[in-house]
Structure 1
Amino acid sequence: MDRLSLRNQLQVYRTPYEEESPFIADFLELTQDPLAYKRERLAGHFTASAWIVNKKRTHTLLTLHRKLGRWLQLGGHADGNENLIEVAMKEAQEESGLRSLRLVDSTIFDLDKHIILERPHVPEHFHFDVRYLLEADIQEPLQISEESISLAWIAFDSVVDMIGYNPSILRMLEKTSKSEILL
């Protein structure tokens, strides 16, 4: 998976979700920029995330993000790596300690473009987040990284209570329950 593979996947990516559809053109445009995979691109850059589920498809692994103070999927910056599957897998492993992680499908699971507010030494910018579906053993011990306050396997029917309203997480949750890949 590299820049060309990502572009090809984005060209065929379709979603029934109205809020996600407009992102596709923005992501395709970004693939043309050689700095798109580096956080130094101040207007915005690629990130990759892992929507991690257990084998029985009853729980998802979320992190209470230290900087943002919100429950989110695991993931992070590409930092020059054009293989966003590798980025998602690496970030998921580093942030959870899980060794049982398995990529369910190499196609894009979800896209989200969201604003990151200005912080000291970092101007406001966009994250163009490409998400992949991963599976892990729910019994494997978790290891919290410096980026997290907490990690937890959350039952699908408790996600809304845990996170509140976050349309991108709710969209991934809905995709998980509808996906034929999971059967």
Structure 2
Amino acid sequence: MDRKSLRENLENYRTPFEDESSFVDDFIELTFDDNAYVRERLEGHFTGSAWIVNKRRTHTLLTLHRKLNKWLQLGGHADGHENLLEVAMAEAQEESGLTSLRIVDSRIFDIDRHTIPQRGDVPEHFHYDVRFLFEAEMNEPLQISEESKDLAWIQFDAVEDIVGLNPSILRMLEKTSKSEILM
């Protein structure tokens, strides 16, 4: 998914979630910026994430992010790479050690614009996170990366207890629960 196809996917992206639909146009606008895929764009930049579920759609894989100290989906910076699906896959593999990862659908699963707090000399900025749905085997051993404090398969009905009121995680959970995508 290159810059042009990302823009087309975003232009055709529909969501019933008001919070998510409120920033679709901002994502589209960002695709016109040549620096949108590098973290040096301090106003905000694209990231790619993987919402990883098991085949039975009962669990999701979350990471306790070392810097943010929050349970989140796996993902990270594009670092100049414009194919955010590939970014999401690479980050998911790097952060989990999973080899059974499989893309469920190459279309955008979710988008979220969220604030990253200032850290050192990097000012507060936005991540324009494009998320894709992945599937993996739960019985495969996990490898915690240096970016995480922990990594765990969380049963769907326990996700809210783990993440609190994180609306973007809860939105992806709801989408998964209602999804008819390749089960």
TM-score, with normalisation over the residues of structure 1?
0.99
> How far, CA to CA, are the matches of 1:23 and 1:100 in structure 2?
33
Aligned-partner residue type, residue 79 of structure 2: D
> How far, CA to CA, are the matches of 1:163 and 1:64 in structure 2?
10
* Corresponding position of 1:93: 93
1:169 is paired with a residue whose SS is helix
* Corresponding position of 2:173: 173
Aligned-partner residue type, residue 35 of structure 1: N
* Corresponding position of 1:17: 17
> How far, CA to CA, are the matches of 2:68 and 2:86 in structure 1?
24
1:27 is paired with a residue whose SS is helix
Q: Counterparts of 1:126-137 in structure 2 under 5 Å?
A: 126-137=126-137
> How far, CA to CA, are the matches of 1:5 and 1:101 in structure 2?
23
Identical residues among aligned pairs (%): 74
* Corresponding position of 1:159: 159
For structure 2, list consecutive stretches of 5 or more residues without a partner in the other structure. Answer: none
After the TM superposition, which segments of 4 or more aligned residues of structure 1 sit over 3 Å from their partners? none
Aligned length: 183
Q: Counterparts of 1:73-152 in structure 2 under 5 Å?
A: 73-152=73-152
TM-score, with normalisation over the residues of structure 2?
0.99
Q: Deviations over 1:12-40 (max 9, x none)?
A: 00000010001110000000000000001
> How far, CA to CA, are the matches of 2:56 and 2:110 in structure 1?
21
Q: Please tell me whether the aligned partners of residues 72 and 169 of structure 1 are also in contact (alpha carbons under 8 angstroms).
A: yes
2:36 is paired with a residue whose SS is coil
